[in-house]
Amino acid sequence: MTQVERDGSGFVVSATLLAHAFEMTEDRIRQAMRDGSLTSICEAGVDADAGRWRLTFRHAGRACRFTVDKAGTILSTSRFPVQARSSVTPD
């Protein structure tokens, strides 16, 4: 597997790439995906950004975003802090 592959209308990102981005082991990345503590969103570009996608992953107050083209080629990568999501649900 390459680091990012197209899968129908979405993408598959390798655990190796995410492990490097979050400074975690691949096993821990897989566990975080299973337990929901690592989440992701895929956003398709529009207008001038058509043909590009933002793949954003969040875990423990940190985010990593990959901008990719339709083939899954990584065009840019950014990492930034985010507010950790609360596990408390509203009443």
Q: Is the pLDDT of residue 1 over 70?
A: no
Please, what is the Cα angle at 80 between 49 and 19, to 5 degrees? 95
pTM to 2 decimal places:
0.86
54-79 average pLDDT score: 97
Taking CA atoms, 1 is separated from 4, 13, 83, 89, in Å, by 8, 9, 32, 38
Q: Is the pLDDT of residue 86 over 90?
A: no
pLDDT of residue 90: 60
19-40 average pLDDT score: 97
